[in-house]
Chain A
């Protein structure tokens, strides 16, 4: 049994992130811990795996025990042999160039005999159903494969407990199903598993216990606390007027790899479109093309009356707003306030009125009191809200959001949804990349499902989700975030 007894932790010495918390997990058990952003879930994971207090500074008290013996005298490498942590971003955790090297990395460090390592590598890859990847280069792997690889690399160290921090956030529904299978397999090997998750539905079906972290303490999860999300007011979409955006026969390749294959679509004013599909199906690339950031190999895109190819970058930026997946890639300034006014500055739209609007939207995004802080020091969810708030002031007509809800709690989701609704009520439109069928069913007017660079389905949410359930894409219609 891995146990945390009465642990408290504070990064700065004043605010307690964890407050006299007690927790345990048995071997062969799957426990899910949920809670809003900033509630200390990742901090708990780092305490249990020994990085706190051993390599991360802060004030720590309490004790971590394995089978009733205190582990505070073990160093990180020794403890790592017992408790392994899979962190959020798989990309950052891979340190070698070949799959077999990555899995062998742990055992190599412990100076295990080569024959033994070879066996461990094979069995670890087998348990993540990836023996065929043995000789592949790590940078060629898909997001889901990287996630599985890092799990294999961790279990190759033969831990008795495995902690996974938001393992499903970068996975598509198929990847989530595969992850469930892998975790079940590890459970049967008598490994105790702790999964930290935002998207409860993803792992809950295989969990033995579901707990929540709130106010620095572990409580039993109670789903009635969560309020229903606001749903869309019914709107009538004018389909007779000329479309806001129309794209015809788009083709796009990266080198020899064709990513967008003969895509034709048009977007009407007032529409919210959910863009679904597996990872690597071309959703992000399509957004890049529609925002004029990527230039199609062939095909035409019209924004209103004018052709996108003939407009300059500023003209396009005035009418479209894009939110990228990684919030760090789209923050440029030194303070939150400067970042907020950066777009209207670049577009030369700085007036008293727009500055006032900047104030208001920061309030609504709940980051107004951080206006002088460095935006890079904000939490993931706060950064994401700043990404959205800083591109709304010039009232763009077309919103292109790439998985905006990842890592957002209920309030963050509400803010992003509200800004979206305002734009469409104002005659704009939004295309939202998402894996969440509940969002799509409740808030979208239309769903586009992509597969291998082409549009497979395009229609009303209910008809598309029905089709997905009845064809080979059932997971996409079933899984999702639910609050």
Chain B
């Protein structure tokens, strides 16, 4: 993923995107997306593409989006460089979204926390990751309830004028914040009450184990990253011209 930031090429992104989808298949993780989210992802990537196409003016001219009509135009030149940039950015966006989804759905946070602890990250920090993931779905649910409660009181989100925007944000943010804070208090008492922080280390019932395949994956990722750096610094021009 860092590779694609280092060396932005849409061909490379598409290849990686394909690998990520293969990952979904081999991990047997169904791509479960609500209709709203799919819509958001598609619209956003198309938008990213269009903006790049519209506002990149250098490169070989391919035509205009709005041809010359009388005095007006021609407007919005479309260039090959613009299309390449557009593809690069929107494919990069898709890659980010889907690879994060793959990461979250195949990673057991408890095991990840244990691995981090083995890398000498203090368990207080690695555990906060577990807690964050534990409470995310809950906050999503609460957000939904608060919006329903607003609607029930006849409060509709208003975006006309700054003060109304602030009020709309306040009406959602306050209840969520208060509920989160009261949860923090209960949670910290509950964790302290079970001896969290008792010793400088803790034991783990479920442990992550390092396997040969992990070493292979690590070597592959690092060498891929090195290759990307080489590309972007202009070494290996023969291979770079292929992708």
Contact = CB atoms under 8 A, between A and B. Distances in A.
B190 to A, nearest CB: 4
Nearest to A157: B194
A113 B203 contact: yes
Contact of B109 (A97, A288, A293, A322): A97
A332 B170 contact: yes
Contact of A332 (B108, B109, B134, B155): B155
A121 interface: yes
Chain B at the A interface: mostly helix, strand, loop or mixed? Answer: helix
From A84, A139, A294, residue with most partner B Cβ within 10 Å = A139
B205 A121 contact: yes
A326 B171 CA distance: 16
B155 A106 contact: no
A109 B195 contact: yes
Contact of B110 (A55, A98, A153, A294): A98
A5 B194 CA distance: 25
B182 A342 contact: no
A80 B193 contact: yes
Nearest to A330: B149
Interface in B111-156: 127, 130-131, 133-134, 137-138, 142, 145-146, 148-156
A342 B174 CA distance: 15
B183 A96 contact: no
Contacts of A106: 194-195
A293 B148 contact: yes
B131 A139 contact: no
A483 B197 CA distance: 43
A49 B127 CA distance: 24
9 tightest CB-CB pairs across the interface, nearest first? Answer: A317-B154, A106-B194, A93-B190, A92-B186, A109-B195, A330-B149, A77-B198, A104-B205, A346-B154
11 contacts: A84-B194, A87-B190, A89-B183, A92-B182, A92-B183, A101-B205, A293-B151, A317-B153, A329-B149, A329-B179, A390-B153
Interface of B: 34, 108-110, 127, 130-131, 133-134, 137-138, 142, 145-146, 148-156, 170-171, 174-175, 178-179, 182-183, 186-187, 189-199, 201-206
Given A109-B198, A317-B151, A391-B152, 6 more contacts: A91-B138, A94-B134, A95-B131, A108-B203, A110-B202, A111-B201
